[in-house]
Amino acid sequence: MADFGSILLWVIFPYAMMLSFIFGTIVRFVWFRAGITAVSSEMLEKRKLMIGSLVFHVGIILAFFGHVLGILIPKSWTEFFGISNEMYHLFGSLMMGTGAGLLALAGMMILTYRRFTNARVFVTSSWTDLVVDVALLITIILGLASTLSGPLFPKFDYRETLSVWARQLFYLSPNWHLMSGVPVIYKLHVICGFLIFGFFPYTRLVHALTLPWQYIFRRYIVYRRKPKAD
Amino acid sequence: MEDEEHYRGGWELNSKGKLQLKAGNKLNKVGLGKIFYNPNMPELDDYYEPWTYDYQTLFGPEKKHQPVARAKSQITGQTMTLTTGPNWDDDLAGSPEYVKQDPNMDKIETDIKTNFEQAFMMYLPRLCEHCLNAPCVASCPSGAMYKRDEDGIVLVDQERCRGWRMCMTGCPYKKVYFNWKTNKAEKCTFCYPRIEEGEPTVCAETCVGRIRYIGVMLYDADRVESAAETPDQSKLYEAQLDLFLDPNDPKIIEQALADGISEEMIECAQRSPIYRMAVKEKIAFPLHPEYRTMPMVWYIPPLSPIMNYFEGRDSINNPDMIFPGIDEMRVPVDYLASLLTGGNVPAIKSALYKLAMMRLYMRAKTSGRDFETAKLARVGLTENTATSLYRLLAIAKYEDRFVIPKSHKEKVEDAQSEQGTLGYDECKGCSLAPQHGSMFKKAEAGESTNQIYAESFYGGIWRD
Amino acid sequence: MSFESITAQPAEAIPTPIFSSAKHDGDRYSPFTVNIDRLVPFRTLTGRQQFYLDHEIFQEYGEMLANYKPTLPPQVMAPGDTTVKRDDHELALRYMTPHGKWNIHTMYYDNLEMLTLFRGGPNVWLSPIDADKAGIKDNDWLEIYNRNGVVTARAVVSHRMPAGSMYMYHAQDMEIQEPLANITGNRGGSHNAPTQIHIKPTQMVGGYGQLSYGFNYYGPIGNQRDLYVAVRKLKKVNWNED
**Which among B85, B116, B428 is the nearest to C119, CB-wise?**
B85
Residue of B nearest to A228 (CA): B412
pLDDT per residue as tens digits for the range B170-198? 999 999 999 888 888 999 999 998 999 89
pLDDT at C132 exceeding the cut of 50: yes
Residue C27 touches chain B, beta carbons under 8 Å: no
Confirm whether B4-42+127-198 and B226-401 share one CATH topology: yes
Residue A47 touches chain B, beta carbons under 8 Å: no
Burial class (CB within 10 angstroms; exposed 0-12, middle 13-18, buried 19+) of B146 = buried
pLDDT per residue as tens digits for the range A170-226? 888 888 888 888 899 999 999 999 999 999 999 999 998 888 888 888 889 999 987
Annotated binding site of A for heme b: 57, 67, 189, 207
| Total CB pairs under 8 A between chain B and C | 136
Q: Enumerate the residues of chain A whose CB falls inside 8 A of the CB of residue B164.
A: 38, 40, 212
CB contact under 8 A, A43 and B146: no
Residue C159 touches chain B, beta carbons under 8 Å: yes
Which range scores top for mean pLDDT: B41-45, B452-456, C223-227?
A: B41-45
Residue A34 touches chain B, beta carbons under 8 Å: yes
Residue B202 touches chain C, beta carbons under 8 Å: no
> Which range is least confidently modeled, B213-222, B428-437, C187-196?
B428-437
CB contact under 8 A, C186 and B83: no
Residue B443 touches chain C, beta carbons under 8 Å: no
Please report the pLDDT score of residue A188 as a whole number.
93
> Which range is least confidently modeled, B57-61, B425-429, C212-216?
B425-429
Grade residue B317 by pLDDT with cuts at 50, 70 and 90. Answer: low
pLDDT per residue as tens digits for the range C35-80? 777 788 887 888 888 889 889 999 999 999 988 888 888 888 888 8
The yes-or-no reply on C/B contact (3 CB pairs or more, < 8 Å) is yes
Please report the pLDDT score of residue B433 as a whole number.
42
B362 compared with B313, residue with greater pLDDT: B362
**Which among A37, A41, A212 is the nearest to B141, CB-wise?**
A212
Residue C120 touches chain B, beta carbons under 8 Å: yes
CB contact under 8 A, A50 and B39: yes
pLDDT at B464 exceeding the cut of 50: no
pTM for the whole thing? 0.85
**Which among C101, C121, C178 is the nearest to B82, CB-wise?**
C121
CATH of domain B4-42+127-198: 3.30.70.20
User: Where are the domains positioned within chain B?
Assistant: 4-42+127-198, 226-401, 432-464
B180 compared with B132, residue with greater pLDDT: B132
Percent above pLDDT 90 for chain C: 37
Grade residue C14 by pLDDT with cuts at 50, 70 and 90. Answer: low
Q: Is B323:B353 a contact under the CB 8 Å cutoff?
A: yes
**Which among A42, A216, A222 is the nearest to B147, CB-wise?**
A222
Taking the C-alpha atoms of residue B136 and residue B145, their distance in angstroms, rounded to an integer, is 7
ipTM here: 0.86
The average pLDDT across B290-313 equals 83
Please report the pLDDT score of residue B241 as a whole number.
96
Please report, in tens digits, the pLDDT of each residue of chain A (230 residues total): 568 888 898 999 999 999 999 999 999 998 888 788 888 899 999 999 999 999 999 999 999 988 888 888 887 887 777 777 777 777 777 788 889 999 999 999 999 999 999 999 999 999 999 999 999 999 999 999 988 887 788 778 888 888 889 999 988 888 888 888 889 999 999 999 999 999 999 999 999 888 888 888 888 999 998 765 54
Residue C128 touches chain B, beta carbons under 8 Å: yes
Please report the pLDDT score of residue B376 as a whole number.
92
Please report the pLDDT score of residue B428 as a whole number.
44
Best probe of the C interface among B68, B81, B458, B461, by most C CBs < 10 A, is B68
The subunits that touch chain A, with at least 3 C-beta pairs less than 8 Å apart, are B
Residue of C nearest to B91 (CA): C160
Residue type, B36: F
CB contact under 8 A, A43 and B158: no
Grade residue B427 by pLDDT with cuts at 50, 70 and 90. Answer: very low
**Which among A37, A228, A229 is the nearest to B162, CB-wise?**
A37
Residue B122 touches chain C, beta carbons under 8 Å: no
Grade residue B461 by pLDDT with cuts at 50, 70 and 90. Answer: very low
Q: A100-113: string of b/e by CB count within 10 Å (b at 16+)?
A: bbbbbbbbbbbbbe
Q: What is the DSSP letter of A145?
A: H
Q: Enumerate the residues of chain B whose CB falls inside 8 A of the CB of residue A123.
A: 75-77
pLDDT at C82 exceeding the cut of 80: yes
pLDDT at B313 exceeding the cut of 70: no
The topology (CATH level 3) of B226-401 is Alpha-Beta Plaits (3.30.70)
pLDDT at B425 exceeding the cut of 70: no
Distance from CA of A146 to the nearest CA of B (A): 28
pLDDT at B32 exceeding the cut of 70: no
Domains, in order of start, for chain C: 1-40 (no CATH), 91-200+222-233 (2.40.40.20)
pLDDT at B257 exceeding the cut of 90: yes
> Which range is least confidently modeled, A147-156, B157-166, B353-362?
A147-156
| Total CB pairs under 8 A between chain A and B | 132
CATH homologous superfamily of A2-33+49-209:
Transmembrane di-heme cytochromes, Chain C (1.20.950.20)
Residue A221 touches chain B, beta carbons under 8 Å: yes
Burial class (CB within 10 angstroms; exposed 0-12, middle 13-18, buried 19+) of B67 = middle
Please report the pLDDT score of residue B460 as a whole number.
41
**Which among C119, C157, C187 is the nearest to B66, CB-wise?**
C187
pLDDT per residue as tens digits for the range B66-99? 899 999 999 999 999 999 999 899 988 998 888 8
Best probe of the B interface among C18, C108, C138, by most B CBs < 10 A, is C138
The average pLDDT across B345-366 equals 92
The subunits that touch chain C, with at least 3 C-beta pairs less than 8 Å apart, are B
CB contact under 8 A, B71 and C2: no
Instruction: Supply the DSSP string of C97-118, one letter for each residue.
Output: -PPPSS--TT----SHHHHHTT
Grade residue B424 by pLDDT with cuts at 50, 70 and 90. Answer: very low
Distance from CA of A216 to the nearest CA of B (A): 6
Q: How far apart, in Å, are the Cα atoms of A148 and each of A36, A97, A98, A99, C39? A: 36, 9, 7, 11, 97
Best probe of the A interface among B72, B181, B183, by most A CBs < 10 A, is B183
Instruction: Supply the DSSP string of C133-148, one letter for each residue.
Output: HTT--TT-EEEEEETT
Q: Is C123:C153 a contact under the CB 8 Å cutoff?
A: yes
